[in-house]
Amino acid sequence: LQTLRFQDGSPFTADPDEFSRQVVPLRAGGGGSPGESSLDGVGEAAALPFRIKSTKVLLLISDEPPCVPD
């Protein structure tokens, strides 16, 4: 799992240019056993420091089915 960190160390930013600088260099690679640890990724995302009383919206994009059991 990889969580991006922005200038202030936060995993969130309101600066679209900073977001772009972090995301554009990312590349998919590797491979190996089939399946992704989808539940782990969603769990890590849900634990991020969202603003109090904010609505959490998580979007999982994967090219593999989840590992079962995960």
Which one-letter amino acid corresponds to residue 38? Answer: S
Query: What's the pLDDT score for residue 32?
Result: 66
Write out pLDDT tens, residues 21-66. Answer: 999 998 877 666 677 788 888 899 999 999 999 998 998 887 778 8
Partner residues linked to 66 by β-bridges? 36
Whether the model pTM is above 0.75: no
- Radius of gyration over every alpha carbon of the chain, rounded to an integer in angstroms: 14
Is pLDDT above 90 for 20? yes
In this structure, are residues 56 and 13 in contact, taking their beta carbons and an 8 Å threshold?
no
pLDDT reading at 68 higher than 80: no
Give me the mean pLDDT over the 7-21 stretch.
94
> How far is CA 18 from each of CA 29, 32, 40, 69, rounded to the nearest angstrom?
23, 32, 26, 37
